[in-house]
Amino acid sequence: MLIRTHTCGELRDTHVGQTVNLSGWVNAYRDHGNLIFIDLRDRYGLTQLVFDPEDANEAGAANTGDKHAHTGMMGDADKLRNEDCIAVRGVVRIRRGGENPKLPTGKVEIVVQQLDVLSKTDNPPFLPDDNSTLPNEEIRLKHRYLDLRRPSMQKVLGTRSKAMQVIRNYFAGENRFLEVETPILYKSTPEGAREFLVPCRNMPGTFYALPQSPQLFKQILMMSGCDRYMQICRCFRDEDPRADRQPEFSQVDLEMSFVRRDQITEMMEGFVRRFWKEMCGYEVPTIQRMSYRDAMEDYGIDRPDTRYDLKIKDISTFAARTEFGVFKSVLEKGQDRPRFNSKRGVVKAMRVPGGADKLTRKITDGYSSLAQRFGAGGVAVVKVIKAEDGSPKLDTGIAKFLEPLKADFIREVGAQIGDTVLFVADTYAIATKAIGELRQQVARDMGMIPKPGAEGGPWNFLWVLDFPMFEKNKETGKWIAMHHPFTAPRDDQRDLFVNADVNDDDTLESIVSAGYDIVLNGSEIAGGSVRIHDRAVQAKVFQLLGLSPEQAKEKFSFLLEALSYGAPPHAGIAFGLDRLIMHICGTDNIRDVIAFPKTQIGADLMTRAPSKATDAQLKDLHVASTWVEKPS
RNA sequence: GGGGGCGUAGCUCAAUUGGUUAGAGUACCGGACUGUCGAUCCGGUGGUUGCGGGUUCGAGUCCCGUCGCCCUCGCCA
């Protein structure tokens, strides 16, 4: 077998005259009878091969002494088809038919003297060609080995590989983080996401769980004196996937000892700066900070996309003065400070500059159904148009209710001629969420979202800080940790926290944690917190979350014990690696940045996992299936 | 679990209001061709219209069910 001397991406006119070996796949063939061109592809590029019996004889005769050898070679070359795997030996020369400017190797070609057909192909279901229409994703996933041959997919794999190197260099290489592997077979801790369970053969009736994250291991590592920990780890959550979510995904997991919030954010900001610099040459400016409260008030979401200037305003006080029935009934129960658990109503408004022309009736009707999906009654609309005398005039929708207060309204929302103003009125939680979702849809409809890579700050990074410690579960009415139960209260909240009563909703809702997220263009790319390192504080959290001391011990005794043997103050964060790569690659499909992703029901279409277990396997594991096949 | 979209040749798509033998490009097979690079030209193979049922004189098209993929709500401490 011919062993390659070069790759298909590197030969230039400086190599002319050299005898080289190349290996790869047939990307295209152009058969002119006695003259055959092959574009040979490998990971590195394309190189044109030419099969010409006369040239091959001239060049090859000296080497082989066998003029008849090439008849067989031409016969084989004639049969080459796309995706055959071959190796060749030949001489580099300047192309006789002129340069192909589309290829880096376009000046040269290889006059083939010897052809090894390493592996013929069956007719492939599709060609891994970036120039033609992609086959549907189902076919691509089923034949992933073909899909990954595609140059664009190779590029993604390369980007991902480089990203992991940059990550390790920065943390483990330059900042003395210790890379430690943590178990995949872990203990079930049924809070949070649904877990994957693994039966334990040696202890009948018991199960491991796959970790949702190595959260407690990394904290224990801090208590073990590891000081700075990093891991590029796999996490598992048995929840329905989305375009940007997979049941198994990768995190860049980090933890530091003897730090407070500012040391962590500084270290991570340094990482983000390095990462974007090395991955795409972008200089990340100082990352702006925003409180959770401001994010929810101004953007209606805890991960605001600040690339476009659309802000939400609470106009409840103004709205109470109108005669519009929806506003009045929502506000009837009075107002108070924004609270997610409050039944009291608010009216939120969003001014859309230039919306009067672009947001047609059809579009704004769609906004009502959008808002309804989030529990709101609908979206009220008013347009600000130009009256005959040139002054602003309110038009359509709820114009007649606002007209008596026109001047105040225009001042209140800062409206200008040509604007549309959208309103959502409901309880604080519903109105906030609905208008936050609406804001994103409006930005898309108005074409306000710049394409990544475009000039003018395509990357908008943002720290979101000061999350609430707790939120109430809508179904059970129980308090749950907003981040996770190991998140510390912010330093200045400690007294408030240790004295809090589980029944004191107002206080519990108001306690602010030492958590932080990094948001990029409206997507959460990292989240973390200062952790609790005080056993009493940890016990208090468990108590507030409704865990009895016995339950807390059963689930987290190892943590509570570790905390009682001199636990250092520590804090950490985790980046979603897949999301980072998605941003760098400019895709909104997580499957595009994972070599072997799963479908929406967690299936691997290539290997056909998951699959049935045999009775013998189940017996070994002391497990029985209750599933009954439906009659067909 | 809910809502929506899609499923026709290996692949990408078309097929009028429910109406003749389901077409095209590409891939594949055969032939021609010595400078192509989306090669070209000639000819050909290829279909249980995802699957099952129903309505109808007649179903790719309409209805019901089911399977698969995608988007989304719930969910994702």
Give the nearest nucleotide to A211, CA to C1'. B77
* Percent of chain A that is helix, strand, coil (3-state, to 5): 35, 25, 40
Task: Evaluate whether A92 touches A106 at the Cβ level (below 8 Å).
Answer: no
Hey, which residues does A19 pair with through a beta bridge?
A91
Hey, which residues does A289 pair with through a beta bridge?
A463
Separation of CA A134 and C1' B23 in angstroms? 22
What are the structure tokens assigned to A438, written together?
């609406």
CB-neighbour burial class of residue A271 (10 A; exposed 0-12, middle 13-18, buried 19+):
buried
Task: Evaluate whether A22 touches A8 at the Cβ level (below 8 Å).
Answer: yes
CA separation for the pair A54, A60 (Å, rounded): 10
Which protein residue has its CA closest to C1' of B69? A138
Separation of CA A126 and C1' B24 in angstroms? 18
CA separation for the pair A97, A109 (Å, rounded): 10
Give the nearest nucleotide to A52, CA to C1'. B34
The total number of residues shown for chain A amounts to 632
Give the nearest nucleotide to A374, CA to C1'. B73
CA A43 and chain centroid, separation? 26
Q: What is the tens place of the pLDDT at every residue in A213-244?
A: 999 999 999 999 999 999 999 999 999 999 99
Task: Evaluate whether A298 touches A512 at the Cβ level (below 8 Å).
Answer: no
Taking CA atoms, A439 is separated from A311, A432, A445, in Å, by 8, 10, 10
Separation of CA A129 and C1' B23 in angstroms? 25
Give the nearest nucleotide to A82, CA to C1'. B27
Residue with tokens 């005898």: A19
In this prediction, residue A61 carries a pLDDT of 43
Task: Evaluate whether A379 touches A385 at the Cβ level (below 8 Å).
Answer: no
What are the structure tokens assigned to A629, written together?
């096949």
Separation of CA A587 and C1' B5 in angstroms? 21
The strand order across the sheet containing A288-291 reads: A178-179, A228-236, A248-257, A570-576, A523-530, A515-520, A461-465, A288-291
Cβ neighbour number for residue A631 with a 10 Å cutoff? 4
Which protein residue has its CA closest to C1' of B7? A136
Residue-wise DSSP of A225-287 = T--EEEEEEEEE--S--BTTB-SEEEEEEEEEES--HHHHHHHHHHHHHHHHHHHH---PPPP
* Over residues A413-417, mean pLDDT: 94
* Over residues A452-469, mean pLDDT: 81
Separation of CA A32 and C1' B39 in angstroms? 8
Give the nearest nucleotide to A241, CA to C1'. B76
* Over residues A488-500, mean pLDDT: 94
Separation of CA A470 and C1' B5 in angstroms? 38
Q: pTM above 0.90?
A: yes
Mean pLDDT of chain A: 91
Phi, psi of A562 (to 5 degrees): -60, -35
Separation of CA A21 and C1' B8 in angstroms? 45
Task: Evaluate whether A148 touches A257 at the Cβ level (below 8 Å).
Answer: no
Separation of CA A123 and C1' B46 in angstroms? 13
ipTM: 0.94
pLDDT(A72) > 90 = no
Give the nearest nucleotide to A35, CA to C1'. B34
Note the strand B nucleotides within 7 A of protein beta carbons: 1, 10-13, 26-29, 32-40, 66-77
Which protein residue has its CA closest to C1' of B13? A133
The strand order across the sheet containing A345-352 reads: A312-314, A345-352, A420-427, A380-386, A392-395
Contacts of A315 by beta carbon, 8 Å cutoff, 6+ apart = A347, A348, A349, A412, A413, A423
Q: Which residue has the higher pLDDT, A595 or A554?
A: A595
What are the structure tokens assigned to A498, written together?
């240790």
Which protein residue has its CA closest to C1' of B26? A132
Q: What is the tens place of the pLDDT at every residue in A301-326?
A: 999 999 998 999 999 999 999 999 99
Q: What is the tens place of the pLDDT at every residue in A330-351?
A: 888 665 555 666 667 899 999 9
Give the nearest nucleotide to A53, CA to C1'. B34
